[in-house]
A = this chain, B = another copy of it.
C-alpha cells in the first residue's frame, strides 16, 4: 500500500432517470480517475432521486440485486481505471427485504463486500423505515489495495458508535455516502445550525478515532413526490484525524472533491493523541442499553 492516496467524492445532482444518473456517475468517476483519484465515493442512492420523500410502493421497483446491473458497470469501470469505488445502492435482497447498501469495489473490479445501512431514519420527507430493512451485516472495514476503509451511510453519521466500531475494525478512512438537505420551511431559522451539527459530528468521529472522514453528499432541489421537497446541501468534505477539513465542496454545484490521504498522519496523530489507549472497555457495557433508567 502506498503512503499517500488520492480520493475523490463525487458531488452530483440526481435526476428522475436512473439510467441517466448511472451514466453520469460513471462519467464523473472517469473524470475523477483522470484527475488521479484512486478511491472514488458516490453519494447515497445516486441512481435515483431521493424517493424516500414519500411512501410509494412503486418505488421498490428502483431496487436491484447486488451483484446487479449497477455493480456490473461499476466493477468494470473500477477494473479499467484501477480504482476503488464506494457506491451506494438500493438493494433488493429478496421479495419484501430491501436494504440501503454500500458496495466496496476493489481496484481489480472485485466486489470486496457490502455494508447495509444500520441506522434507518424516519422523519418527515425521509421515510426510510418504509423502504429499508435495518442492516444485518454490522460495522465493517475492508483492506482495499488503495487503503483500509470503512463505509457508513448518512443517518449513521449521527452515531459515534458506528464510527467507533468501524474504526476498531481497522478503517483508517470512513466514507459516508449521504443524502441530506434542508426543508424550505426550516432553512431560514434552523438551516445553519443543522448543517453545522452535521459537519461537527462527523469531524468529531475523525477526532475520536484518529482517522480520516470523507462525506459525499448530493446537490439540487428534489420534489419527486410533490410538496416542497428537499434542497440537498452539498458541501461534501474530507477531514483529517484532528478534525480539520482538508477539502470541501460547494453548496450547489456538481464537482469532484479531491483530497490527498497521507496514511502516516494516522499513526502520528494517534501517537500524540492516544485516545484509543485509554478507552475504559471495562465500563462501556451500558452502551448496549436503550436507556439506563
Contact = CB atoms under 8 A, between A and B. Distances in A.
Interface of A: 118-123, 134, 138-139, 155, 158-162, 164-165, 168-170, 193-194, 196-197, 200-201, 203-204, 207-208, 242-244, 272-276, 278-293
B287 A165 contact: yes
Contacts of A291: 168, 170, 276
Contact of A207 (B200, B287, B288): B200
A293 B161 contact: no
Select the residue from A138, A160, A281 with max chain B CB neighbours within 10 A. A160
Contacts of A290: 168, 276, 279, 281
Contacts of A197: 207, 242-244, 273
A177 to B, nearest CB: 18
A208 B159 contact: yes
A286 B201 contact: no
Contacts of A159: 208, 275, 279-280
A195 B118 CA distance: 32
Nearest to A285: B288
B168 A286 contact: yes
